[in-house]
Structure 1
Protein backbone atom coordinates (compact mmCIF):
# COMPACT_ATOMS: atom_id res chain seq x y z
CA UNK A 1 0.00 0.00 0.00
CA UNK A 2 1.06 3.59 -0.65
CA UNK A 3 0.88 5.94 2.31
CA UNK A 4 1.20 9.68 1.69
CA UNK A 5 1.76 11.87 4.74
CA UNK A 6 1.69 15.68 4.61
CA UNK A 7 2.86 15.62 0.98
CA UNK A 8 3.40 18.88 -0.90
CA UNK A 9 4.77 19.15 -4.44
CA UNK A 10 5.43 22.47 -6.19
CA UNK A 11 6.92 23.48 -9.52
CA UNK A 12 8.48 26.84 -8.82
CA UNK A 13 5.85 28.74 -6.88
CA UNK A 14 2.94 26.76 -8.35
CA UNK A 15 1.33 24.17 -6.09
CA UNK A 16 0.95 20.97 -8.15
CA UNK A 17 -0.27 18.54 -5.50
CA UNK A 18 -0.97 18.53 -1.78
CA UNK A 19 -2.50 15.97 0.57
CA UNK A 20 -2.51 15.72 4.36
CA UNK A 21 -2.97 11.94 4.53
CA UNK A 22 -3.87 9.31 1.97
CA UNK A 23 -3.65 5.54 1.46
CA UNK A 24 -3.75 4.01 -2.03
CA UNK A 25 -4.13 0.29 -2.73
CA UNK A 26 -1.55 -1.49 -4.87
CA UNK A 27 -3.49 -4.70 -5.55
CA UNK A 28 -6.62 -3.23 -7.13
CA UNK A 29 -7.81 -1.41 -10.25
CA UNK A 30 -7.38 2.22 -9.17
CA UNK A 31 -8.51 5.07 -11.41
CA UNK A 32 -7.18 8.62 -10.99
CA UNK A 33 -9.45 11.23 -12.56
CA UNK A 34 -9.83 14.99 -12.74
CA UNK A 35 -9.61 17.93 -15.14
CA UNK A 36 -6.46 18.62 -17.16
CA UNK A 37 -3.70 20.19 -15.10
CA UNK A 38 -5.26 19.16 -11.80
CA UNK A 39 -2.26 17.19 -10.49
CA UNK A 40 -2.98 13.64 -11.68
CA UNK A 41 0.36 13.16 -13.44
CA UNK A 42 2.16 14.74 -10.50
CA UNK A 43 0.61 12.15 -8.19
CA UNK A 44 1.80 9.33 -10.45
CA UNK A 45 5.35 10.73 -10.54
CA UNK A 46 5.31 10.86 -6.74
CA UNK A 47 4.03 7.28 -6.50
CA UNK A 48 6.68 6.07 -8.95
CA UNK A 49 9.43 7.78 -6.89
CA UNK A 50 10.54 9.54 -10.07
CA UNK A 51 10.15 12.85 -8.22
CA UNK A 52 10.31 13.45 -4.45
CA UNK A 53 7.82 15.69 -2.65
CA UNK A 54 9.02 19.10 -1.50
CA UNK A 55 7.79 18.20 1.97
CA UNK A 56 6.14 15.20 3.57
CA UNK A 57 6.79 11.60 2.65
CA UNK A 58 5.56 8.94 0.23
CA UNK A 59 5.93 5.38 1.53
CA UNK A 60 5.29 2.04 -0.15
CA UNK A 61 5.06 -1.41 1.36
CA UNK A 62 5.29 -4.21 -1.18
CA UNK A 63 6.38 -7.86 -1.01
CA UNK A 64 7.74 -7.48 2.51
CA UNK A 65 9.84 -4.44 1.63
CA UNK A 66 9.37 -0.77 2.47
CA UNK A 67 10.28 2.12 0.21
CA UNK A 68 10.28 5.80 1.07
CA UNK A 69 10.75 9.06 -0.80
CA UNK A 70 13.33 9.90 1.89
CA UNK A 71 15.84 7.45 0.42
CA UNK A 72 17.10 6.72 -3.08
CA UNK A 73 15.88 3.13 -3.24
CA UNK A 74 13.40 2.47 -6.03
CA UNK A 75 10.69 -0.23 -6.17
CA UNK A 76 11.49 -1.21 -9.78
CA UNK A 77 10.88 -3.89 -11.03
CA UNK A 78 8.12 -4.64 -8.49
CA UNK A 79 6.55 -1.36 -9.68
CA UNK A 80 6.79 -0.27 -13.31
CA UNK A 81 5.44 2.77 -15.15
CA UNK A 82 3.98 3.80 -18.49
CA UNK A 83 4.09 7.57 -18.91
CA UNK A 84 2.31 9.78 -21.46
CA UNK A 85 5.29 9.47 -23.77
CA UNK A 86 5.99 5.79 -24.27
CA UNK A 87 9.78 6.32 -24.51
CA UNK A 88 10.19 3.62 -27.14
CA UNK A 89 13.64 3.67 -28.73
CA UNK A 90 13.08 4.62 -32.40
CA UNK A 91 15.98 2.53 -33.74
CA UNK A 92 14.67 -0.68 -32.11
CA UNK A 93 11.67 -2.77 -33.09
CA UNK A 94 8.84 -3.12 -30.60
CA UNK A 95 10.08 -6.61 -29.75
CA UNK A 96 13.55 -5.25 -29.02
CA UNK A 97 12.11 -2.41 -26.94
CA UNK A 98 10.07 -4.85 -24.88
CA UNK A 99 13.12 -7.08 -24.37
CA UNK A 100 15.33 -4.27 -23.02
CA UNK A 101 14.44 -4.66 -19.31
CA UNK A 102 14.86 -8.44 -19.65
CA UNK A 103 18.38 -7.94 -20.98
CA UNK A 104 19.14 -5.46 -18.19
CA UNK A 105 18.09 -8.05 -15.59
CA UNK A 106 19.73 -10.95 -17.48
CA UNK A 107 16.47 -12.91 -17.37
CA UNK A 108 16.99 -16.51 -18.49
CA UNK A 109 13.49 -17.19 -19.86
CA UNK A 110 13.39 -14.10 -22.09
CA UNK A 111 11.76 -15.84 -25.07
CA UNK A 112 8.99 -17.26 -22.89
CA UNK A 113 8.25 -13.87 -21.35
CA UNK A 114 8.20 -12.15 -24.74
CA UNK A 115 5.79 -14.79 -26.01
CA UNK A 116 3.63 -14.30 -22.92
CA UNK A 117 3.17 -10.53 -23.34
CA UNK A 118 2.88 -10.83 -27.12
CA UNK A 119 -0.10 -13.13 -26.68
CA UNK A 120 -1.67 -11.03 -23.91
CA UNK A 121 -1.56 -7.82 -25.95
CA UNK A 122 -2.14 -9.47 -29.35
CA UNK A 123 0.92 -7.92 -31.02
CA UNK A 124 2.02 -10.63 -33.46
CA UNK A 125 1.03 -8.56 -36.50
CA UNK A 126 3.26 -5.60 -35.59
CA UNK A 127 5.75 -6.59 -32.87
CA UNK A 128 8.67 -6.61 -35.32
CA UNK A 129 7.94 -3.13 -36.66
CA UNK A 130 9.64 0.07 -35.54
CA UNK A 131 7.79 2.63 -33.39
CA UNK A 132 7.26 5.01 -36.32
CA UNK A 133 5.57 2.21 -38.28
CA UNK A 134 2.73 1.54 -35.81
CA UNK A 135 -0.35 3.38 -34.55
CA UNK A 136 -0.56 5.18 -31.22
CA UNK A 137 -2.64 2.36 -29.79
CA UNK A 138 -0.13 -0.27 -30.90
CA UNK A 139 2.74 1.75 -29.40
CA UNK A 140 0.78 2.01 -26.14
CA UNK A 141 0.31 -1.76 -26.05
CA UNK A 142 4.05 -2.24 -26.60
CA UNK A 143 4.80 0.16 -23.74
CA UNK A 144 2.44 -1.80 -21.49
CA UNK A 145 4.06 -5.06 -22.56
CA UNK A 146 7.48 -3.67 -21.67
CA UNK A 147 6.15 -2.62 -18.25
CA UNK A 148 4.70 -6.09 -17.67
CA UNK A 149 7.51 -8.25 -18.98
CA UNK A 150 9.38 -8.26 -15.64
CA UNK A 151 6.19 -9.47 -13.92
CA UNK A 152 5.71 -6.54 -11.53
CA UNK A 153 3.17 -6.40 -8.72
CA UNK A 154 1.95 -2.97 -9.83
CA UNK A 155 1.91 -0.87 -13.01
CA UNK A 156 1.33 2.90 -12.99
CA UNK A 157 -0.17 4.22 -16.23
CA UNK A 158 -0.38 7.95 -17.00
CA UNK A 159 -3.05 9.16 -19.47
CA UNK A 160 -3.77 5.64 -20.67
CA UNK A 161 -6.09 6.86 -23.44
CA UNK A 162 -4.16 9.97 -24.49
CA UNK A 163 -4.04 10.42 -28.27
CA UNK A 164 -6.06 7.27 -28.99
CA UNK A 165 -9.23 7.19 -31.09
CA UNK A 166 -12.34 5.43 -29.78
CA UNK A 167 -11.52 2.10 -31.41
CA UNK A 168 -7.98 2.14 -30.01
CA UNK A 169 -9.34 3.06 -26.58
CA UNK A 170 -11.70 0.10 -26.61
CA UNK A 171 -8.89 -2.26 -27.60
CA UNK A 172 -6.65 -0.86 -24.85
CA UNK A 173 -9.46 -1.13 -22.29
CA UNK A 174 -9.91 -4.80 -23.11
CA UNK A 175 -6.20 -5.45 -22.65
CA UNK A 176 -6.12 -3.55 -19.34
CA UNK A 177 -9.01 -5.64 -18.02
CA UNK A 178 -7.23 -8.82 -19.14
CA UNK A 179 -4.03 -7.58 -17.51
CA UNK A 180 -5.82 -6.87 -14.22
CA UNK A 181 -7.28 -10.40 -14.35
CA UNK A 182 -3.72 -11.79 -14.13
CA UNK A 183 -3.43 -10.29 -10.64
CA UNK A 184 -1.33 -7.23 -11.47
CA UNK A 185 -2.36 -4.07 -9.62
CA UNK A 186 -3.08 -1.06 -11.84
CA UNK A 187 -3.17 2.65 -11.02
CA UNK A 188 -4.43 4.40 -14.14
CA UNK A 189 -4.82 8.10 -14.92
CA UNK A 190 -7.72 8.42 -17.36
CA UNK A 191 -10.46 10.75 -18.59
CA UNK A 192 -12.72 7.80 -19.46
CA UNK A 193 -15.62 8.04 -17.03
CA UNK A 194 -17.41 5.08 -18.60
CA UNK A 195 -14.37 2.82 -18.19
CA UNK A 196 -13.90 3.88 -14.55
CA UNK A 197 -17.57 3.34 -13.69
CA UNK A 198 -17.42 -0.15 -15.11
CA UNK A 199 -14.16 -1.47 -13.66
CA UNK A 200 -12.75 0.73 -10.87
CA UNK A 201 -12.15 -0.83 -7.45
CA UNK A 202 -10.98 2.53 -6.15
CA UNK A 203 -11.44 6.04 -7.56
CA UNK A 204 -9.33 9.09 -6.75
CA UNK A 205 -10.48 12.48 -8.05
CA UNK A 206 -8.05 15.42 -8.03
CA UNK A 207 -8.97 19.07 -8.53
CA UNK A 208 -6.63 22.05 -8.17
CA UNK A 209 -3.90 19.82 -6.76
CA UNK A 210 -5.97 18.26 -3.98
CA UNK A 211 -7.93 15.02 -3.64
CA UNK A 212 -11.64 15.88 -3.61
CA UNK A 213 -13.04 12.33 -3.80
CA UNK A 214 -11.61 8.94 -2.90
CA UNK A 215 -13.39 5.64 -2.47
CA UNK A 216 -15.13 2.77 -4.23
CA UNK A 217 -17.90 2.90 -6.83
CA UNK A 218 -20.06 4.73 -4.28
CA UNK A 219 -18.10 7.88 -5.12
CA UNK A 220 -20.09 8.12 -8.34
CA UNK A 221 -23.38 8.15 -6.43
CA UNK A 222 -22.57 11.17 -4.26
CA UNK A 223 -19.39 12.94 -5.44
CA UNK A 224 -17.91 15.95 -3.68
CA UNK A 225 -15.87 17.07 -6.67
CA UNK A 226 -17.30 19.57 -9.14
CA UNK A 227 -15.50 17.60 -11.86
CA UNK A 228 -17.50 14.43 -11.22
CA UNK A 229 -20.73 16.33 -10.63
CA UNK A 230 -20.41 17.95 -14.06
CA UNK A 231 -19.29 14.72 -15.75
CA UNK A 232 -22.23 12.83 -14.29
CA UNK A 233 -24.71 15.59 -15.07
CA UNK A 234 -25.65 16.08 -11.43
CA UNK A 235 -27.38 19.32 -10.51
CA UNK A 236 -26.48 20.38 -6.99
CA UNK A 237 -28.37 23.66 -7.30
Structure 2
Protein backbone atom coordinates (compact mmCIF):
# COMPACT_ATOMS: atom_id res chain seq x y z
CA UNK A 1 0.00 0.00 0.00
CA UNK A 2 1.16 3.52 -0.81
CA UNK A 3 2.41 5.82 1.93
CA UNK A 4 1.26 9.44 2.04
CA UNK A 5 3.58 12.01 3.58
CA UNK A 6 2.19 15.24 5.01
CA UNK A 7 3.30 18.04 7.32
CA UNK A 8 2.76 17.20 10.98
CA UNK A 9 1.74 19.64 13.69
CA UNK A 10 1.09 19.92 17.39
CA UNK A 11 -2.17 18.02 17.08
CA UNK A 12 -0.19 14.94 16.00
CA UNK A 13 1.98 14.71 19.09
CA UNK A 14 0.27 11.60 20.48
CA UNK A 15 0.78 9.64 17.24
CA UNK A 16 4.40 10.76 17.05
CA UNK A 17 4.81 9.73 20.66
CA UNK A 18 3.23 6.33 19.94
CA UNK A 19 5.78 5.60 17.21
CA UNK A 20 8.59 6.68 19.52
CA UNK A 21 7.20 4.29 22.12
CA UNK A 22 7.42 1.44 19.61
CA UNK A 23 11.04 2.38 18.93
CA UNK A 24 11.77 2.46 22.66
CA UNK A 25 10.29 -1.02 23.06
CA UNK A 26 12.39 -2.27 20.12
CA UNK A 27 15.55 -0.65 21.55
CA UNK A 28 16.49 1.48 18.55
CA UNK A 29 15.04 4.94 19.20
CA UNK A 30 17.37 7.49 17.48
CA UNK A 31 17.45 9.91 20.40
CA UNK A 32 18.29 7.20 22.98
CA UNK A 33 15.16 8.02 25.02
CA UNK A 34 13.96 5.25 27.35
CA UNK A 35 10.60 6.82 28.29
CA UNK A 36 8.07 8.69 26.11
CA UNK A 37 8.00 12.47 26.19
CA UNK A 38 5.38 14.43 28.09
CA UNK A 39 2.90 16.66 26.26
CA UNK A 40 4.63 19.86 27.37
CA UNK A 41 7.94 18.48 26.11
CA UNK A 42 6.38 17.79 22.72
CA UNK A 43 5.04 21.35 22.59
CA UNK A 44 8.51 22.75 23.34
CA UNK A 45 9.91 20.48 20.65
CA UNK A 46 7.42 21.79 18.09
CA UNK A 47 8.29 25.36 19.10
CA UNK A 48 11.85 24.70 17.94
CA UNK A 49 10.63 23.75 14.46
CA UNK A 50 9.91 26.77 12.29
CA UNK A 51 9.15 27.05 8.59
CA UNK A 52 12.65 25.90 7.63
CA UNK A 53 12.53 22.96 10.05
CA UNK A 54 9.42 20.98 9.18
CA UNK A 55 8.06 17.78 10.70
CA UNK A 56 6.60 15.16 8.36
CA UNK A 57 4.25 12.26 9.04
CA UNK A 58 3.98 9.15 6.87
CA UNK A 59 0.54 7.53 6.77
CA UNK A 60 -0.88 4.34 5.33
CA UNK A 61 -4.67 3.94 5.25
CA UNK A 62 -4.98 7.01 7.48
CA UNK A 63 -2.70 5.57 10.16
CA UNK A 64 0.67 7.14 10.97
CA UNK A 65 3.46 4.58 10.61
CA UNK A 66 6.56 6.81 10.49
CA UNK A 67 7.67 10.39 10.90
CA UNK A 68 10.75 12.52 10.29
CA UNK A 69 12.00 16.03 10.87
CA UNK A 70 14.62 18.55 9.81
CA UNK A 71 15.93 20.10 13.00
CA UNK A 72 17.77 23.30 13.83
CA UNK A 73 21.54 23.00 13.53
CA UNK A 74 23.41 23.25 16.82
CA UNK A 75 25.95 25.61 15.27
CA UNK A 76 25.94 29.37 14.79
CA UNK A 77 24.79 31.48 11.80
CA UNK A 78 27.61 30.54 9.34
CA UNK A 79 26.14 27.04 9.37
CA UNK A 80 22.50 27.94 8.68
CA UNK A 81 22.78 25.94 5.45
CA UNK A 82 23.28 22.74 7.50
CA UNK A 83 20.28 20.84 8.86
CA UNK A 84 20.03 17.78 11.09
CA UNK A 85 17.66 15.00 10.07
CA UNK A 86 15.96 12.31 12.12
CA UNK A 87 13.65 9.52 11.01
CA UNK A 88 11.34 7.43 13.20
CA UNK A 89 9.95 4.17 11.91
CA UNK A 90 7.11 2.38 13.67
CA UNK A 91 6.48 -1.36 13.65
CA UNK A 92 4.28 -1.11 10.54
CA UNK A 93 6.73 1.15 8.72
CA UNK A 94 9.77 -1.10 8.54
CA UNK A 95 11.43 -0.87 5.15
CA UNK A 96 10.59 2.80 4.61
CA UNK A 97 13.99 4.06 5.75
CA UNK A 98 15.39 4.81 2.29
CA UNK A 99 12.27 6.44 0.80
CA UNK A 100 12.00 8.61 3.91
CA UNK A 101 15.67 9.61 3.74
CA UNK A 102 15.38 10.53 0.07
CA UNK A 103 12.22 12.52 0.77
CA UNK A 104 14.02 14.50 3.48
CA UNK A 105 16.88 15.18 1.06
CA UNK A 106 14.44 16.60 -1.51
CA UNK A 107 12.79 18.79 1.12
CA UNK A 108 16.15 20.02 2.44
CA UNK A 109 17.25 20.96 -1.07
CA UNK A 110 13.99 22.82 -1.71
CA UNK A 111 14.49 24.76 1.54
CA UNK A 112 17.95 25.89 0.44
CA UNK A 113 20.14 23.66 2.59
CA UNK A 114 23.54 22.50 1.42
CA UNK A 115 24.08 19.60 3.80
CA UNK A 116 22.06 17.12 5.84
CA UNK A 117 23.63 15.54 8.91
CA UNK A 118 22.53 12.58 11.01
CA UNK A 119 23.67 11.08 14.31
CA UNK A 120 23.07 7.33 14.45
CA UNK A 121 23.86 4.84 17.17
CA UNK A 122 26.85 2.74 16.16
CA UNK A 123 25.04 -0.56 16.76
CA UNK A 124 21.99 0.42 14.67
CA UNK A 125 23.26 -1.46 11.65
CA UNK A 126 19.98 -1.27 9.76
CA UNK A 127 19.76 2.53 9.79
CA UNK A 128 23.48 2.95 9.14
CA UNK A 129 23.26 0.65 6.13
CA UNK A 130 20.28 2.54 4.70
CA UNK A 131 21.95 5.91 5.25
CA UNK A 132 25.09 4.79 3.44
CA UNK A 133 23.04 3.37 0.57
CA UNK A 134 21.39 6.80 0.23
CA UNK A 135 24.75 8.52 -0.16
CA UNK A 136 25.52 9.51 3.42
CA UNK A 137 29.21 9.58 4.26
CA UNK A 138 30.68 8.60 7.61
CA UNK A 139 32.31 11.63 9.21
CA UNK A 140 33.51 9.75 12.28
CA UNK A 141 32.56 7.87 15.42
CA UNK A 142 31.83 9.78 18.63
CA UNK A 143 33.06 7.45 21.35
CA UNK A 144 30.92 7.16 24.47
CA UNK A 145 28.74 9.99 23.19
CA UNK A 146 25.35 8.86 24.49
CA UNK A 147 24.14 7.49 27.82
CA UNK A 148 21.71 4.65 27.24
CA UNK A 149 20.36 2.19 29.81
CA UNK A 150 23.28 2.71 32.18
CA UNK A 151 26.06 2.54 29.62
CA UNK A 152 27.85 4.85 27.24
CA UNK A 153 27.23 4.14 23.56
CA UNK A 154 29.09 5.25 20.44
CA UNK A 155 27.36 7.42 17.86
CA UNK A 156 28.21 7.67 14.16
CA UNK A 157 28.11 11.12 12.57
CA UNK A 158 27.07 11.10 8.92
CA UNK A 159 26.69 13.80 6.29
CA UNK A 160 24.96 14.07 2.93
CA UNK A 161 26.18 16.87 0.64
CA UNK A 162 23.46 18.46 -1.48
CA UNK A 163 23.56 20.92 -4.39
CA UNK A 164 22.64 24.25 -2.81
CA UNK A 165 21.42 27.26 -4.73
CA UNK A 166 24.09 29.80 -3.78
CA UNK A 167 21.98 32.73 -4.95
CA UNK A 168 19.15 31.53 -2.71
CA UNK A 169 21.59 31.22 0.19
CA UNK A 170 22.90 34.71 -0.46
CA UNK A 171 19.36 36.12 -0.35
CA UNK A 172 18.68 34.21 2.87
CA UNK A 173 21.77 35.60 4.61
CA UNK A 174 21.00 39.14 3.44
CA UNK A 175 17.42 38.86 4.72
CA UNK A 176 18.41 37.47 8.12
CA UNK A 177 21.73 39.17 8.84
CA UNK A 178 22.13 42.90 8.00
CA UNK A 179 25.91 42.70 8.20
CA UNK A 180 25.89 40.22 5.32
CA UNK A 181 23.81 42.59 3.22
CA UNK A 182 26.40 45.31 3.91
CA UNK A 183 29.23 42.91 3.04
CA UNK A 184 27.76 41.95 -0.33
CA UNK A 185 27.08 45.61 -1.13
CA UNK A 186 30.72 46.54 -0.44
CA UNK A 187 31.84 43.55 -2.48
CA UNK A 188 29.68 44.65 -5.42
CA UNK A 189 30.96 48.22 -5.26
CA UNK A 190 34.57 47.04 -5.23
CA UNK A 191 33.91 44.85 -8.27
CA UNK A 192 32.30 47.71 -10.18
CA UNK A 193 35.26 49.99 -9.49
CA UNK A 194 37.83 47.37 -10.51
CA UNK A 195 36.03 46.52 -13.76
CA UNK A 196 35.72 50.19 -14.70
CA UNK A 197 39.42 50.73 -14.05
CA UNK A 198 40.11 47.86 -16.42
CA UNK A 199 38.00 49.42 -19.15
CA UNK A 200 34.99 47.12 -18.79
CA UNK A 201 31.29 47.94 -18.76
CA UNK A 202 28.16 45.88 -18.24
CA UNK A 203 26.62 44.43 -21.37
CA UNK A 204 23.42 46.27 -22.38
CA UNK A 205 21.93 42.93 -23.47
CA UNK A 206 22.94 41.02 -20.32
CA UNK A 207 23.88 43.18 -17.28
CA UNK A 208 25.35 40.14 -15.54
CA UNK A 209 28.17 40.08 -18.12
CA UNK A 210 31.06 42.48 -18.57
CA UNK A 211 32.34 43.60 -21.98
CA UNK A 212 35.17 45.94 -23.09
CA UNK A 213 34.07 49.56 -23.17
CA UNK A 214 33.98 50.99 -26.73
CA UNK A 215 37.08 53.03 -27.50
CA UNK A 216 36.68 56.57 -28.81
CA UNK A 217 38.68 57.21 -31.99
CA UNK A 218 39.88 60.88 -32.19
CA UNK A 219 38.77 62.77 -35.26
CA UNK A 220 41.56 63.84 -37.65
CA UNK A 221 41.98 67.57 -38.10
CA UNK A 222 42.95 69.32 -41.34
CA UNK A 223 46.23 70.45 -39.84
CA UNK A 224 47.31 66.86 -39.37
CA UNK A 225 47.35 66.05 -43.10
CA UNK A 226 50.69 65.86 -44.94
CA UNK A 227 51.61 65.82 -48.61
CA UNK A 228 54.44 63.69 -49.93
CA UNK A 229 56.42 64.26 -53.10
CA UNK A 230 57.53 61.23 -55.06
CA UNK A 231 61.22 60.43 -55.05
CA UNK A 232 62.85 61.11 -58.42
TM band (smaller chain): under 0.3
Structure with the higher helix share, 1 or 2 = 2
Q: TM-score, normalised by structure 1?
A: 0.27
